[in-house]
Structures are given as structure tokens and as C-alpha cells.
């Protein structure tokens, strides 16, 4: 990535729907050159342009972070959990937990059912601790792209 690629990413972080006619001049390119640059970043999987929702304002209003202890390969458990729509991300980690999984469910009862009936049934899981969300205080996607 060069300085122009990083400038494109900074602009997209502010407005992911910025027209190429506006993006190009902001990063020192023509609109068509900006489009080609962004397409290269997308094709190389450096960037993904997506719509981000806040599940707590939609029909799915119960979210939790699950701290999972695993008695085997955490990658296999992460793969299995990721097959479920309720799981929005998994993170392999170290320390007290081997894996964190963020889950979104339609109600506290469906969260309880998901943890007990689905998560605890996955081979390799030794224990699960849930941390329900009461509100999302900060939800940021503005990472530093200056490096």
C-alpha cells in the first residue's frame, strides 16, 4: 500500500459511499483512477466495502461476548461456531480464554438456548462464559491507515 491507497482508505472510513467524482480529487487522482485503485484494493482483499448495522437497534437485540475455553484445537472450534448465523465474529486469543465469539440473538431466551444447545455441544469446548451487552457504547471502524 502506498500513500494514495492509504488516503483512499481514510476517505472510505469517513464515507464508504463517497462518489468517485469526489474521491478522486481528494486523493489526488482522477475519478476513474480512484475507481481502479479502489477496485485493486478490493480484489486483493485489503479492503472490503460493507454496510454496517447496529443489531441492538434492529430485530436482533440481544448480544453477548462468549469467552470459550477449549480442550483441543481452537481453530476447529472457531470453524464450527462460525457456521452459525448468530456468531458474528470469532477471535483466537491467549490467556484465560482460548477464543472469543460475539453472538447476536433475537432475545435473551434465544441467547440462552444458543449457548446451551449449540455452543456447549461443540466438541472441544471445555467451558463457556457469557458477557451480555446492555448497550454498545463505541462502535468504531476508523483504524489508522498511516503505516
Confidence class for position 144, pLDDT limits 50, 70, 90? low
Model confidence over 1-57: pLDDT tens digits? 889 998 998 888 888 889 999 999 999 999 999 999 999 999 998 888 877 666 666
- Please name each of the domains of the chain with its CATH number: 3-43 (1.10.10.10), 55-132 (3.30.70.920)
Model confidence over 52-89: pLDDT tens digits? 666 666 665 899 999 999 999 999 999 999 999 999 99
Whole-number pLDDT of residue 132: 94
111 within 8 A of 118, measured Cβ to Cβ: no
111 within 8 A of 130, measured Cβ to Cβ: yes
12 within 8 A of 142, measured Cβ to Cβ: no
Q: Is the torsion defined by CA of 116, 118, 119, 123 positive or negative? A: positive
pTM of the shown model = 0.68
Amino acid at each position: 500500500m502506498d500513500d494514495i491507497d492509504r488516503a483512499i482508505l481514510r476517505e472510505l472510513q469517513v464515507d464508504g459511499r463517497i462518489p468517485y467524482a469526489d474521491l478522486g480529487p481528494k486523493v489526488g487522482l482522477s475519478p476513474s483512477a480512484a475507481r481502479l485503485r479502489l477496485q485493486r484494493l478490493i480484489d486483493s482483499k485489503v479492503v472490503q466495502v460493507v454496510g454496517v448495522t447496529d443489531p441492538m437497534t434492529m430485530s436482533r437485540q440481544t448480544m453477548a461476548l462468549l469467552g470459550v475455553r477449549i480442550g483441543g484445537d481452537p481453530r476447529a472450534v472457531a470453524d464450527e461456531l462460525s457456521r452459525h448465523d448468530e456468531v458474528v465474529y470469532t477471535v483466537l486469543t491467549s490467556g484465560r480464554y482460548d477464543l472469543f465469539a460475539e453472538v447476536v440473538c433475537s432475545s435473551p431466551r434465544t441467547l440462552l438456548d444458543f449457548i446451551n444447545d449449540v455452543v456447549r455441544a461443540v466438541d472441544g469446548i471445555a467451558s463457556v462464559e457469557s458477557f451480555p451487552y446492555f448497550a454498545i457504547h463505541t462502535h468504531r471502524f476508523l483504524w489508522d491507515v498511516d503505516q
